[in-house]
Amino acid sequence: MGASEFAPDEAARGGTGTTKRVWALAWPAILTNLLQSAVGFVGGTIVSRELGTAAIAATGVGGRIFFVQQVLLMAVTTGTMALVARAWGAGNRVEAERVTRTSLWLCSALAILLAVPCAVFARELVSLASLWGLDGPTTELGAAYVRWVSLSTLPFGISLTIATALRAAGDTRTPLLISIAGAALTLFALWVLVMEGFGVRSMGVAGAAAAIGLGAGVSALASLGLWRSDKLVVGSRPGGNDFDAGRMRRLMRVGAPAGAEGFSFQIGFVVFIGIIARYGNEANAAYQLGVNVLAFSFLVGQAFSIAASTLVGQHLGARDEPGAERSGWRAMALAIGVMVVFGAGIIGFAEPVARFMSRDPEVIRLTVIFIWVLGSVQALMAIEFTLGGALRGAGDTIFPFVTVLSGLTFGRLAFAALFMSLGKGIEWIYAALIADYVIKGVLFVSRFRSGRWKGMLTERDEALVLGDAPETEAG
Q: What is the pLDDT of residues 378-406, one digit of tens each?
A: 999 999 999 999 999 999 999 999 999 99
207: left (phi over 0), alpha (psi -120 to 50) or beta: alpha
Contact between 208 and 58 (Cβ < 8 Å)? no
Task: Report how far Cα 452 is from the mean position of its chain's Cα atoms.
Answer: 25
Q: Over the stretch 66-86, which tens digit does the pLDDT of each residue have?
A: 988 998 998 889 999 999 999
User: 53-89 and 281-317 are packed helices; what angle lies between their axes, rounded to 10 degrees?
Assistant: 10
Q: Are residues 41 and 139 in the same domain?
A: yes
Per-residue b/e over 128-156, b at no fewer than 16 CB within 10 Å? ebeebebeeebbbbbbbbbbbbbbbbbbb
User: What is the pTM (predicted TM-score) of this model?
Assistant: 0.87
State the residue range of the domain holding 463.
Answer: 257-475
Measure the CA–CA gap between 132 and 61, rounded to whole angstroms. Answer: 9
Q: Do 272 and 205 share a structural domain?
A: no
Separation in Å, CA 130 to CA 54, 249, 289: 13, 38, 22
DSSP 121-155: THHHHHHGGGGGT--HHHHHHHHHHHHHHGGGHHH
pLDDT band at 458 (very low <50, low <70, confident <90, very high): low
Helix (H) or strand (E) holding 37: helix 15-51
| Domain total of the chain | 2
pLDDT in the model for residue 381: 95
pLDDT of residue 417: 96
In a domain, 168, yes or no: yes
Residues 275 and 130 in one domain: no
Q: What's the distance, CA 12 to chain centroid?
A: 33
**Is pLDDT larger for residue 470 or for residue 30?**
30
Is 13 inside a domain boundary? no
Boundary-marking domain end, from 243, 273, 298: 243
Choosing from 214, 243, 272, the residue where a domain stops is 243
Place 318 in a pLDDT band, splitting at 50, 70 and 90: very high
Do 336 and 202 lie in one domain? The reply is no
Say how far residue 22 (Cα) sits from the centre of its chain: 18
The residues, any chain, with a CB within 8 Å of residue 209's CB and separated by 6 or more, are 59, 62, 144, 145, 146, 147, 148, 149, 151, 152
Locate the DSSP E strands across 257-370: none
Element at 441 (helix H, strand E): helix 426-450
